Amino acid sequence: MKILVCISHVPDTTSKINFTDENSKFDTNGVQFVINPNDEFGLTRAMWFKEKQGATVHVVNVGGPETEPTLRKALAIGADQAIRVNAIPTDGFFVAKQLAHVVKEGAYDLVLGGRESIDYNGGMVPGMISKLTGFNFINTCISLEVDGSNAIAAREIDGGKEIISTSLPLIVGGQKGIVQESDLRIPNMRGIMQARSKPLNVTEPIDSNSEINFDNFSKPDAKGSVKLVDNVNDLVELLHNEAKVI
C-alpha cells in the first residue's frame, strides 16, 4: 500500500495572531510553525500501517522553502520520502489542484489529510482532492482499518459516530481518534539523523487559478471585562435580565 500524508504547515496553537502590510498578511514574526495537529494524527496512523502492514509513506506540502523543517520533522517521525510543491498556497482550491496532481502521478492507494488546518480553517482540501481524483472520501475520520482494498472507518457526526465501509483508493480528513493523543511520537535522535538523508523532492506547481482572494484580516474587538459576582442569585438574575440567555 502506498500512502500519501498531506501536511499543512501552521502556526503553533499558542501563537499570537497578528497581521502586517496593512493587515493583508499573517505576521510570522516570532511564530513557531508545526505540523497541523489533525495531520499529525494521520501521519501517526500512517506509521502504524507502515510497521504493521508494510506500507510506504510519503508526505507532501504545498509551500515555500520555509516549510521544509516541518517536512523534515515528518521524515524524522518515520515517513520515507517528502515532496514539496514549490508554490505559495493562495487558497484551498489551488492547493487541492496541486495535491490531486501529486496523488495521480504517484499512484497512491490511501491519502491521509486533516479535518481542517488550524490557520485558515478551510476544511476543504481533502474533499476537493477526492472530487478531483475520484477517490472515495471520509471526513472527520476517527478510526481507520484497511484490509486489502477494503476499508472500514468511523466518522464523527454530531452526537455520535457512524461506521462506514468503503474501498481504496481512499482519502480521509482525519482528526484525534484516528490515533489517540498518547500514540503521537516525538522524533528521537536516530530519526532526526536519518531524516537528513531521506529524499525531499521539490516539484514545480501545475498551472491553476485560485478562487478566493484574501484581501485583509482583522481581529475581534477587545473584550469588555468580566462581571464578577459572589453568589448564584446574582448570576441567575444577570443571565436572565441582562444577557437574556435563560
Partner 1 sequence: MSVLVYTESEEGKFKKIAFEAVSYAKGIANMLGTKVTAVSINGKHTDQLGKYGASKVLSVSSEQLDNFNALAYADVIAQAAQQEASNVVIISSSANCKYLAPLLAINLEAGYVPNVIELPFSITPFNIKSNVFSNKAFANSEITTEKKLIGLAKNAFGIVESNTSSIQENFSPVISEDNLHTKVTSVEKSTDKITIADADIVVSGGRGLKGPENWGMIEELAETLGAATACSKPVSDLGWRPHSEHVGQTGKPVSSNLYIAVGISGAIQHLAGVNSSKVKVVINSDSEAPFFKAADYGIVGDAFEYVPQLIQKLKEFKSNNA
Ligand X SMILES: Cc1cc2nc3c(=O)[nH]c(=O)nc-3n(C[C@H](O)[C@H](O)[C@H](O)COP(=O)(O)OP(=O)(O)OC[C@H]3O[C@@H](n4cnc5c(N)ncnc54)[C@H](O)[C@@H]3O)c2cc1C
Site for ligand AMP in 100-129 (CB under 6 A): 113-114, 116-117, 120-126
The site that binds partner 1 (CB under 8 A) totals a number of residues, namely 78
Who's near 141: CB < 8 A, 6+ residues apart? 115, 153, 154, 155, 156, 172, 173, 174, 175, 177, 178
The listed partner (ligand AMP, partner 1, ligand X, none) that binds 117, CB under 5 to 8 Å by sort, is ligand AMP
**Quick one: which of 36, 139, 140, 175 contacts ligand AMP (CB under 6 A)?**
36
| Minimum distance from residue 9 beta carbon to ligand AMP (Å) | 7
> Which of 39, 46, 74, 108 is close enough to bind ligand AMP by CB under 6 A?
39
Binding pattern for the stretch 126-145 against ligand AMP, x by CB under 6 A and - elsewhere? x-------------------
How far, CA to CA in Å, does 12 sit from each of 15, 33, 36, 182?
6, 5, 8, 19
Could you tell me the three cell numbers for 132? 478531483
Distance in angstroms (rounded) separating the CA atoms of residues 41 and 76: 15
CB 60 within 8 A of CB 67: no
Q: Is 89 in the site for ligand X (CB under 6 A)?
A: no
Tell me which of 121, 190, 204, 207 binds partner 1, using CB under 8 A: 121
| 69 within 8 A of 32, measured Cβ to Cβ | no
Nearer to partner 1, 96 or 112 (CB): 96
Q: Is residue 90 within the footprint of partner 1 (CB under 8 A)?
A: no
- Report CA Rg, the chain: 21
Q: Of 42-50, 60-68, 176-184, 191-199, which part binds partner 1 (CB under 8 A)?
A: 176-184
Q: Based on the shown chain and the rule CB under 6 A, indicate whether residue 37 belongs to the binding site for ligand X.
A: yes
Q: What's the CA gap between 170 and 211, in Å, rounded?
A: 25
